Structures are given as C-alpha cells and as structure tokens.
Amino acid sequence: MSECAVAIIGYGLAGRFFHAPLIRATAGLRVAAIVTADPQRSAQAAHEHPDAAVMASTDELFGRAAEFDAVVIATANDSHVPLATRAVDHGLAVVVDKPLALTAAEAEDLIARARAAGVLLTVFQNRRWDSDQLTLSRLMAQGALGQVLRYESRFERWRPESRPEAWRERTPPAQGGGVLLDLGSHLVDQALVHFGAVTSVYAEVSSRRGAPADDDVFIALTHRCGTISHLRASAVTAAPGPRLRVLGSEAALIVRDLDSQEDRLRAGERPDTVSDWGVEPSHAHPRLITGEQSVPLVPERGAWQTFYARLRDALVAGGSAPPVPPVDASDVVSVLCVLEAARASALSGEVAKLA
C-alpha cells in the first residue's frame, strides 16, 4: 500500500508531540510537510523529520496541495475554521485539533462545506482512547457497574502562576483561550460518548490567576439517560482529585491518575517504538469498589494511535460508500453546544436547558 502524504500546520505542543509522532507510528501514513513560521520550530521540524518539506507559510502549502492527501491543523483555536476552510476548498482531507471551531454555528457551517465538497473532515478527540475511558467502556458493556448514576471526570493541575508565553492563557475565551474550550472539549466529549445527549447544564467558569483566559471550570450535566456528569478542568487545584470516579447502582470505578500517553509522547516514545505502549503502571491501576470491598483491575491499554489508523483506513477506502472518519465531526457540534451552554450558565448563575 502506498503511503498517504500528510501535512501538519503548526509545530507547537500538539503538532510536534502528538500529531507528528502518531502519524509516523502509523503504517500507510507519512509526515510529508510541516508548516511553521517560527525559526526555532522550523529547525526542530527539519531535524526531527528530515524527509518532510518544512514551509514557512500556509500559502506555500496550499500552493502545493496536489502533493498531499490530508492536512492536520494544530494551530491556535481561532485559526481552525479559516485554515480548515482553505483545506476543504483545496480538496484535502482535514484533521482539526480540538476544538473544531469556537462556536457550534461555525462548526456546522464548516461541516456543511466539507460535506458539499465531498471532503473528509474529522476532529482530533484523541482522549476517547485513554486507558481510563476504554476501561470504563469495557465495564459498562459487561454491566459491572450496573446503572451509572454519577460520572465524575477531572483534568486538574497545579500551576498557580500564569504563563504569559502560553497562548491559551493570554488569549480571551472569545478568541479561543482558556481551559473550558481546551480541556473542557475532552471532558464533555467523553461524557457524551458514554452517556449521550444532555438536557441541562450548570457551570462555574473563573479566571483565578487574573489572566484573560479562564483557568478553573466546573460543569454539571444532566444526561437524557438519567446519568449526572460532574466535570472539572483546572490549572489551580493544589490537591487534584481522582481522574475518574464513576458511581453505579452495583459498583464504583476509581481511576486515580491521568493516562500516561501524553507524557510518553513528550518523552520521545511512540506506539511503534515501545512494546508496552498504553500500559499503565501497576500503582495506577483502577479499582472496582463496592462498599468496603476494593478490587484492583487490569486496565485497557491506551491507544491514541487508533485515531490515525482509522484516518488511514478512511483515506484509502474504496467503493461508493463515503469514508468513515475516526471522529464524526457532528459529534463535536454537540460538544460545542454544551460548552456554549456552560458559559451561558456561568454568566447567569442559572441552569441552562438544552433541547
């Protein structure tokens, strides 16, 4: 099978440590081009991907669009829609790092444009393949928890000093900054994958460090199925809680620590270079708890590489049926609707209702 040529726009944290390594780890895909205007990042890209063309502008990339099969957009949030629109108009399959857009309306317009052009559009919701999420899916399928009554999910960190060099912290929410759009996109997506549509949202959104962007978020979701989700994203939590606490009618699941795949990618490992990719250390194994009984569980292996394996399959799919993306972009419209309701709730102090 010939390799599909993938171009990456942006070589910051997401482009360098997430997308490029996972693409390289996927048979049938290759990093063919990297776009960054930063001289230091250009040098890093050229050193780390000597076979890729390193470009300083998207104009150069789109001027050579015929050389590529797909483009990954790993840039600041407010550039996602303009860049994805250009990619769609050039007939390139598009992977957009989350969030797809700043608003649900923008996302819907982009999806409609891609559909009309017959172009594959997907969103990098990689944390669907976290070890803890895959383990929860297994337990729910087995009925081990009974009916899930409450789902508590956290991305809590302790960074008491804001970082002016970090665009997510210096950028106002209206321009795509803050943890609500960043980590909140993962938290809400995971909750919707497990428990489906939401009927009401209550949220508290704050900027505790005085930066333009929000850094401390709590979201309560009532799902149509009856499950309540409590979601926390914070940069100012000195004592982080468990990554997951899922309370069911028959048992509870506790996962203490965050999935390790991000740390391993940052350390230079890849799914194709280590044999134990996605294996969590024994001290981080989840526990199934019923009252005073607490039983350790062997977790599912994390598998972020699944996203790009499915993208490859979609790119090479033949036949008359449309290719199946690794993440349906329409799912992200639902996520953005919830995030918009969360911000409205935080401003009003009232529960926001969804249809």
**348 is a domain residue:** yes
Q: Are residues 293 and 194 in the same domain?
A: yes
**CA 31/CA 87 separation, integer angstroms:** 17
Domain end residue (candidates: 124, 154, 184) = 124
Indicate whether 330 belongs to any domain: no
Residues 180 and 293 in one domain: yes
**Which of these, 41, 78, 77, 33, lies nearest to 59 by C-alpha position?**
33
- Examine the domain organization and report whether 113 and 159 are in the same domain: no
Kindly state the tokens that stand for 103.
Answer: 């608003």
The percentage of residues in the chain with a pLDDT greater than 90, rounded to a whole number, is 92
Are 115 and 168 part of one and the same domain?
no
Model confidence pLDDT, tens digit, residues 108-143:
999 999 999 999 999 999 999 999 999 999 999 999
Q: What span, in angstroms and rounded, lies between the C-alpha atoms of 26 and 309?
A: 6
Residue 55 falls within a domain, yes or no? Answer: yes
Separation between Cα atoms, residue 164 and residue 167, nearest integer Å? 7
Domain limit, last residue, from 66, 92, 124: 124
Identify whether 310 is part of a domain: no
Q: What is the DSSP letter of 18?
A: I
DSSP 284: G
Tens of pLDDT, residue by residue over 331-347, are 999 999 999 999 999 99
How high does pLDDT run on average in the chain?
Answer: 96
Q: Same domain, yes or no, for 107 and 147?
A: no
Same domain, 80 and 156: no
Same structural domain, 94 and 242: no
The number of distinct structural domains making up the chain is: 2
Task: Please answer whether residues 119 and 314 qualify as being in contact, where contact means their C-beta atoms are separated by less than 8 angstroms.
Answer: no
Torsion 276-279-283-289 (CA) sign: negative
Lowest mean pLDDT segment, chosen from 146-155, 260-269, 294-303, 310-319 = 310-319
Structure tokens at 63: 């001027």
Q: Tell me how many degrees the CA angle 199-203-206 measures, rounded to the nearest 5.
A: 160
pLDDT for 323 equals: 84
- Domain assignment present for 38: yes
Range of the domain at 220: 130-302+336-353
The CATH number of the domain holding residue 25 is: 3.40.50.720
Domain co-membership, 210 together with 66: no
The answer to whether position 320 is within a domain reads: no
Query: Of 107, 124, 141, which marks where a domain is finished?
Result: 124
Find the range with the poorest average confidence among 162-166, 215-219, 242-246: 162-166
Closest of 307, 304, 326 to residue 260, by C-alpha: 304
Task: Report the CATH number that the domain containing residue 230 is assigned in CATH.
Answer: 3.30.360.10
Both 171 and 249 in one domain: the answer is yes
Provide the pLDDT for residue 254: 98
Among residues 336, 335, 327, which one has the least CA distance to residue 93? 327
Give the contacts of 348 (CB within 8 A, at least 6 positions apart).
none
